[in-house]
């Protein structure tokens, strides 16, 4: 619930939980109920709002901070074990328990919507109920004192967003929910902050937005902006196709062929760097001899995916006799696929 300081004008609603989406949603609906935004909000120290409580310098949840910035409101969390810091809402809770929850104790509700409707009716009565020792009611005092002091609501409602930190991989992409989004290649190996909404992915570096993409649910795929690529598609940080192929050749011809195939199967070779590195590093875990055998089996099966090769090694399929059959040809006739021959020596 929320209580305004001068008038005690109150807002209350039920939610399924106190998780971050419900916490943010309750703030938004409270501001809309009041028809404006106060200059200051004093919340409790629940984890959805305050990631680390501190007497002098508490850390706010990034999403909560983002919401506050959108509405132009300052957030000053109450100190731990200091109920007087939020005396208004503490008193408001007691009043809501007496005049709303007590009135509903014998009523059954079969949905959250029904409960919201019942609380809304009783909340209206509470705010219009005359004070005992003061003239008027909460609504009268709200119209006279609090409402004129509220800031106007922004033109657009806040869009819920979550924040996370991500490391830029050598292919200048960040992994968000299994999908890979590009950022400027100069940020390879840097840590960026990512703002995730229902429809968009935004990446920030040192407070500046450096990339924005439509959100995608396709796992294992890439969303790449051409401007984020290095000038040469053969160079990205310390890694190049030539270097990866040279490393693979030390393991064996099957490994080399598989890495060439993986690089050639992508429109941009950098998109295969992550997978190729993972495949080559399997040699450290299982040994180069087994990796070479696994790559030979993978080529026979027509796959060059990391997960398939890892599965072959984990299930020791590389140690079983390889049936004589022709290698399945991977598609290489598409305009966006370079093919392994593109990375042959001398090209």
Can you list the alpha helix ranges (DSSP code H) found in the chain? 20-34, 62-71, 87-96, 112-128, 138-141, 147-149, 241-251, 253-264, 270-286, 288-301, 306-314
Judgement on whether residues 246 and 285 belong to the same structural domain of the protein? yes
The domain boundary residue, chosen from 228, 261, 276: 228
In a domain, 140, yes or no: yes
- pLDDT-based confidence at 87, cuts 50/70/90? confident
Give me the pLDDT at residue 341, please. Answer: 60
In a domain, 16, yes or no: yes
Let me know if 185 is exposed, middle or buried by CB neighbors in 10 A (0-12, 13-18, 19+): buried
**More confident of the two residues 84 and 243:** 243
Torsion of CA 26, 28, 33, 37, to 10 degrees: 130
pLDDT in tens, 59-77: 889 999 999 999 999 998 8
Give me the pLDDT at residue 49, please. Answer: 86
Which structural domain range is residue 204 located in?
Answer: 162-228
Average pLDDT of the segment spanning 36-59: 85
Judgement on whether residues 325 and 245 belong to the same structural domain of the protein? yes
Judgement on whether residues 203 and 261 belong to the same structural domain of the protein? no
Give me the pLDDT at residue 347, please. Answer: 41
Judgement on whether residues 49 and 143 belong to the same structural domain of the protein? yes
Give me the pLDDT at residue 276, please. Answer: 92
Judgement on whether residues 77 and 126 belong to the same structural domain of the protein? yes
Q: Is residue 332 predicted with pLDDT exceeding 60?
A: no
pLDDT in tens, 115-140: 999 999 999 999 999 998 889 999 99
Judgement on whether residues 145 and 9 belong to the same structural domain of the protein? yes
Lowest-pLDDT choice from 189-193, 215-219, 232-236, 267-271? 232-236
Judgement on whether residues 114 and 180 belong to the same structural domain of the protein? no
In a domain, 30, yes or no: yes
Judgement on whether residues 130 and 12 belong to the same structural domain of the protein? yes
Task: Decide if 331 contacts 337 (C-beta within 8 A).
Answer: yes
Give me the pLDDT at residue 338, please. Answer: 59
Judgement on whether residues 265 and 218 belong to the same structural domain of the protein? no
**More confident of the two residues 267 and 116:** 116
- pLDDT-based confidence at 335, cuts 50/70/90? low
Judgement on whether residues 145 and 6 belong to the same structural domain of the protein? yes
The secondary structure of residue 322, as a DSSP letter, is P
Q: Is residue 180 predicted with pLDDT exceeding 90?
A: yes
Q: In whole angstroms, how far apart are CA 162 and each of 30, 195, 277?
A: 20, 6, 30
Residue 73 belongs to domain with CATH number: 3.30.420.10
Judgement on whether residues 182 and 216 belong to the same structural domain of the protein? yes
Task: Find which of 124-128, 229-233, 266-270, 342-346 is predicted with most confidence, using mean pLDDT.
Answer: 124-128
**More confident of the two residues 210 and 325:** 210
Give me the pLDDT at residue 171, please. Answer: 85
In a domain, 116, yes or no: yes
Average pLDDT of the segment spanning 179-208: 95
Task: Look at residues 345, 340, 327 and name the one whose alpha carbon lies nearest to residue 265.
Answer: 340
The domain boundary residue, chosen from 149, 173, 202: 149
Give me the pLDDT at residue 333, please. Answer: 54
The Cα–Cα gap between 98 and 125 comes to 13
Q: What pTM does this model have?
A: 0.65
Give me the pLDDT at residue 204, please. Answer: 97
Average pLDDT of the segment spanning 265-285: 86
Judgement on whether residues 140 and 256 belong to the same structural domain of the protein? no
- pLDDT-based confidence at 13, cuts 50/70/90? very high
Q: Is residue 100 predicted with pLDDT exceeding 60?
A: yes
The domain boundary residue, chosen from 228, 252, 276: 228
**More confident of the two residues 180 and 324:** 180
In a domain, 157, yes or no: no
Number of domains in the chain: 3
Crossing angle for the helix pair 288-301 and 306-314, nearest 10 degrees? 120
Give me the pLDDT at residue 145, please. Answer: 95
pLDDT in tens, 19-35: 999 999 999 999 999 99
On average, the pLDDT of the chain sits at 88
């Amino acid at each position: 619930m929320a209580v305004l300081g001068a008038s005690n004008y109150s807002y209350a609603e039920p939610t399924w939980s106190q998780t971050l989406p419900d916490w943010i949603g309750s703030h938004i609906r409270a501001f809309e109920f009041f028809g404006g935004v106060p200059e200051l909000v004093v919340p409790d120290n629940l984890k959805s709002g305050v990631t680390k409580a501190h007497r002098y310098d508490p850390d706010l949840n990034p999403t909560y901070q983002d919401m506050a910035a959108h509405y132009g409101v300052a957030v000053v969390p109450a100190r731990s074990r200091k109920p007087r810091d939020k005396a208004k809402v503490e008193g408001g809770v007691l009043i809501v328990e007496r005049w709303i929850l007590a009135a509903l104790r014998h009523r059954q509700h079969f949905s959250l919507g029904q409960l919201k409707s019942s609380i809304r009716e009783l909340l209206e009565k509470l705010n219009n109920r005359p004070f005992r020792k003061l003239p008027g009611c909460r609504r009268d005092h709200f119209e006279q004192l609090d409402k004129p002091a509220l800031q106007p609501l922004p033109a657009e409602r806040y869009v819920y967003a979550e924040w996370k930190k991500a490391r830029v991989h050598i292919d200048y992409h960040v992994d968000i929910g299994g999908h890979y989004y590009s950022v400027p290649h100069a940020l390879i190996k840097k840590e960026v902050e990512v703002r995730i909404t229902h429809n968009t992915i935004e990446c920030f570096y040192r407070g500046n937005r450096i990339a924005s993409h439509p959100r995608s649910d396709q796992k294992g795929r890439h969303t790449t902006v051409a401007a984020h690529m290095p000038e040469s598609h053969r160079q990205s940080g310390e890694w190049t196709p030539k270097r990866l192929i040279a490393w693979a050749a030390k393991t064996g011809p099957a490994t080399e062929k598989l890495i060439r195939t993986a690089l050639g199967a992508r429109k941009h070779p950098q998109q295969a760097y992550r997978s190729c590195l993972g495949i080559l590093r399997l040699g450290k875990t299982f040994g180069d001899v087994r990796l070479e055998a696994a790559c030979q089996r993978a080529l026979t099966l027509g796959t060059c995916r990391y997960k398939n090769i890892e599965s072959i090694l984990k299930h020791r399929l590389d140690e079983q006799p390889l049936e004589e059959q022709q290698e399945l040809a991977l598609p290489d006739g598409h305009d966006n696929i370079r093919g392994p021959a593109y990375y042959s020596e001398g090209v």
